[in-house]
Structure 1
Amino acid sequence: MTRKASFAPIVDAQTRVLLLGSLPGEASLKAERYYAHPQNQFWKLVGGAIGVDLHGMDYDARLAALRAAHVGLWDVVADAVRAGSLDGAIKDHRGNDLTGLIATLPGLRAIGFNGGTAARIGRKLLAGAVHPPLIDLPSSSPAFTRPLQEKQAAWDTIRFWLSAAKI
């Protein structure tokens, strides 16, 4: 089995909320785009949280809208062996340098983990480091079968960290 690797982070100096997934799935790796699987609810959930219909946009417009809303993207796993796309199949993983990235983001106010695997790995990687508040979000994956409105209520909490007021 070959190793699968994450993408480069999508951030800038104005990033206020960093959303971290685990590792891109097969559809995303093939398309070379974050959350490319058509049944993944990421674009609906984050779009709902920032008040923009990202689901109906092309990929570059989605990324521009995230930047405009001060939302960044990355993954907690730099590379790993994994058959298929399920997080439970991640083996022999190496973590991304989350602490190093955080140090380059002066406006960062919160870090959201997209799902349990991202939260478990990400919290270990950040243990002992200085970081903003950590938010565990329900997975946007179609494998996590909770109603969309239940997931959306949790994802909407990132609005607080995106507000213009200084925290």
Structure 2
Amino acid sequence: MSPIPDPSSAEPQRLSGLAPIFAGHIRLLILGSFPSPASLAAQQYYGHRQNHFWRLLGALWGEDLQALPYPERTARVLAHGIGIWDVYQACVRPGALDADIRAGEANDFAALVGQAPALRRVCFNGRTAAKFAPRLAALGLETRVLPSSSPAYTLAFAAKLEGWRQGLLG
């Protein structure tokens, strides 16, 4: 009789990220680190109901993005000339925290930039994603770091909103 495998000893599986929300006319790209388990399950960027991402953008634009179905949210983002992606296309992460990301494989930023001639600025959603700022700056893009929209980052919403206002609109 074979011993029953201990699930706690199993290596976490390699995860694949989401396709970019992208169009050739975007002027600004928001890069996160990697989708949360809730986002991967929903196949939606910032799919965890407590993440402030959609609320922050909605507050900046005077639109209730949270009330819209996901396809309409993404259409509104693109209408504002903004794309969304992550710095990692794949990784091993045994949980939801950025600090747990291991064996990360970066997305092909040069290919994306080549398809978006109007792209001028990249805003990183949090410090983990911002580790890639030198790579994007080397492609000739202005880079800015936004306060993380994650509920794990406990900065008050008003302070996050001001940081996003300066990063995206300033």
When the two structures are superposed, what TM-score results if normalisation uses the length of structure 2?
A: 0.88
Percent of counterpart pairs with the same letter?
41
For 2:88, which of 73, 77, 80 is the aligned residue? 77
Letter in 1 for 2:152: A
Counterpart-to-counterpart distance in 1, 2:98 and 2:118: 30
1:126 maps to 136
List runs of 5+ in structure 2 lacking aligned partners.
Answer: 1-11
Q: Write out per-residue CA displacement over residues 42-92 of structure 1, whole angstroms, 9 at most, x where no aligned residue.
A: 001122223322111110110011011111000000100001110000001
Q: 1: CA distance between counterparts of 2:121 and 2:133?
A: 13
Q: 5 Å matches for 1:1-167? A: 1-120=12-131, 122-126=132-136, 129-157=138-166, 158-160=168-170
Query: 2:60·2:165 contact (CA, 8 Å) conserved in 1?
Result: yes
Q: CA RMSD in A?
A: 1.2
Structure 1 position 124, deviation (Å): 4.7
- TM-score normalized by the length of structure 1: 0.90
CA deviation profile, 1:84-125 (whole Å, cap 9, x unmatched): 1100000011101112211211111210000000001x2254
CA distance in 1, matches of 2:111, 2:85: 13
Larger radius of gyration: 2
Of 88-97 and 47-56, more deviation after overlay is shown by 47-56
2 CA distance for matches of 1:2 and 1:98? 24
Secondary structure at the counterpart of residue 163 of structure 2: helix
Count of residue correspondences: 158
Structure 1 stretch displaced more, 145-154 or 97-106: 97-106
Letter in 2 for 1:66: V
Query: In the alignment, residue 44 of structure 2 is paired with which amino acid?
Result: R
User: 1:4: Cα distance to partner?
Assistant: 1.1
Q: What are structure 1's unaligned runs of at least 5 residues?
A: 161-167
Counterpart AA for 2:48: H
Letter in 1 for 2:52: Q
